[in-house]
Amino acid sequence: MVAKRVPLIAGNWKMNLDHLQSIAFVQKLAWSLKDAKHTYDTVEVAVFPPFTDLRSVQTLVSADKYELTFGGQDVSAFDSGAYTGEISGAFLKSLDCTYVIIGHSERRTLHHEGDDEIAAKVAAAIRHDLVPVLCVGETADDLEKHGPSAVPVAQLKAALAGVTAGADIVVAYEPVWAIGSGQAATPEQAEQVAGQLRLTLVELIGQDAADATRILYGGSVKSSNIAGFMRQPNVDGALVGGASLDLAEFSSIVQFQKHVGT
Ligand code: 13P
């Protein structure tokens, strides 16, 4: 039987909002979602603030019992030691992080992270009982040269090379050309790649885990285009960048079920 996947709407804040701003934002988000609760069925909402905000977000979410999950935007491949500037998965776990983003295209490009490092980070996340949100996606050049799925599928295989069957992961398909460009993929493009990613997951982690894995689309997601993505059978949510910093927009994206029927 195919597992029912709870949709996940995740906000990647990137390097935006300091810890004081994060408190105000998370409070308002939680209130707006509480008010809207009756308008949608189950959906999981996660935020990915900068590291320096995580303690504030943890305190708020646990004290006020907000139905929000959260995680870091990166993790070290190492557990502790002389790695100046790095953050251990153990530290993220002790702050109640559920998730950690790994392999975002901005880290692949700006920090030259390659497949081996990303695979080591995925292993580190799993070692610390964090769910990796593994980002994969092709550049415009890759798309032209290799078609839509080849690069994301290759990145997925490389990142999960050391992962055992049954692993609990989230995959985010984020075409690099769609990130921050205002030009999202079409829902059909997202579904085509997500379908290929799921078939690859069957080979890598087995049928049951592949059926249970949430595959998100990311890249210029807004309230006006979320419904199209959420109608696709293999797209189980979104990783939202810019629009996740706009409370009204993000709250409306979370309530995508209001738009799906329209
Ligand atoms: P935008 O939603 O700003 O295009 O960013 C997507 C992204 O990079 C999420 O990780």
Q: Is residue 39 scored above 90 in pLDDT?
A: no
Distance CA(30)–CA(145), nearest Å, equals: 44
Ligand 1 atom 1 nearest Cα: 241
- Domains of the chain, by residue range, sit at 8-52+59-243
Res 38: pLDDT? 61
Of 7, 6, 12, 4, the C-alpha closest to 244 is 12
Alpha helices in 37-114 (DSSP H): 54-64, 89-94, 105-110
**Residue 114 to residue 161: CA distance in whole angstroms:** 13
Mutate to test the pocket of ligand 1, among 223, 229, 240, 244 (most ligand atoms within 8 A of CB): 240
Q: What is the CA radius of gyration of the chain?
A: 17
- Residue 5 neighbours by CB under 8 Å, 6+ apart: 211, 212, 213, 214, 236
- Inter-CA distances, 20 with 67, 78, 98, 142, Å: 20, 29, 22, 40
In the numeric block, the tokens 């709870």 are attached to 6
Pocket flag, ligand 1, residue 218 (CB < 6 Å): yes
pLDDT band at 258 (very low <50, low <70, confident <90, very high): confident
> In this predicted structure, what is the pLDDT of residue 35?
74
Specify whether domain 8-52+59-243 bears CATH 3.40.1180.10: no
pLDDT, one tens digit per residue, over 211-252 is 999 999 999 999 999 999 999 999 999 999 999 999 999 999
Report whether residue 142 contacts ligand 1, using a CB cutoff of 6 Å: no
- Nearest atom in ligand 1 to the alpha carbon of residue 104 is 10
- Chain segment 153-204, per-residue pLDDT in tens: 999 999 999 999 999 999 999 999 999 999 999 999 999 999 999 999 999 9
% of the chain residues with pLDDT over 70: 96
Q: Which residues are catalytic?
A: 104, 174
